[in-house]
A and B are shown apart, each in its own frame.
Chain A
Amino acid sequence: AQSVTQLDSHVSVSEGTPVLLRCNYSSSYSPSLFWYVQHPNKGLQLLLKYTSAATLVKGINGFEAEFKKSETSFHLTKPSAHMSDAAEYFCVVRGRGGATNKLIFGTGTLLAVQP
């Protein structure tokens, strides 16, 4: 069965410093992995996705993630944090089997950006 583990429930950075949100996955198959962001009182928005093409994936708002099979990791990074990046971030793996398009979410990492 597929699963993801987000290693930090809270991360705090200063504006202008790098962001690193860590995610490890478990999958019997070559996984499809995603990062979603959830701002307060707003819907989940897709940041980026990995579907077995390039291992370095670039997303919106300057975020990127690197798929590392040897480490079973899919960490999210951004070179320079902005105040507007403060939100909750979810690492997600797609479930497999039949026609299901089930997304299996991690428990989330709350990113705080200090001025």
Chain B
Amino acid sequence: EAGVAQSPRYKIIEKRQSVAFWCNPISGHATLYWYQQILGQGPKLLIQFQNNGVVDDSQLPKDRFSAERLKGVDSTLKIQPAKLEDSAVYLCASSFTSGGFSYNEQFFGPGTRLTVL
């Protein structure tokens, strides 16, 4: 079974520039998550999708971060404009959904390491 795919693996940009990350979940997983992991901390959920709808985006800084999952499969996370404090690893995860709820194991991709200079 193919895992969660993410690209790019590494990205270096200057502050105030824009950047986008891509995620392709495991086939058949209706729920997709984006996490931010700052160095020395545990991952923090930014947004959760179920199919193409948003379930939880309470911790997404909406003034600069946006995410979409238009066809309910792959997803993009965008930062515009980037700040120094956005330097982190951005992790995508997916999980199987049953009965309309996602209470199952989350499978994580390798992450995208973003450095903002």
List residues of chain A with CB under 8 Å of any chain B CB: 36, 41-46, 49, 90, 92, 94, 98-108
Contacts and interface: CB of A to CB of B under 8 A. Distances in A.
Nearest to B106: A103
Nearest to A43: B108
A101 B42 contact: no
B63 interface: no
Q: Which 8 A-B pairs have the closest CB atoms?
A: A105-B42, A44-B108, A43-B108, A101-B102, A100-B56, A43-B110, A102-B45, A105-B43
User: Interface residues of B toward A: which range?
Assistant: 20 to 34
Nearest to A6: B42
A45 B105 CA distance: 10
B44 to A, nearest CB: 7
Nearest to B31: A101
B110 A101 contact: no
A80 to B, nearest CB: 26
Nearest to A46: B105
B103 A101 contact: yes
A99 B110 contact: no
B91 to A, nearest CB: 7
Contacts of B106: 46, 101, 103
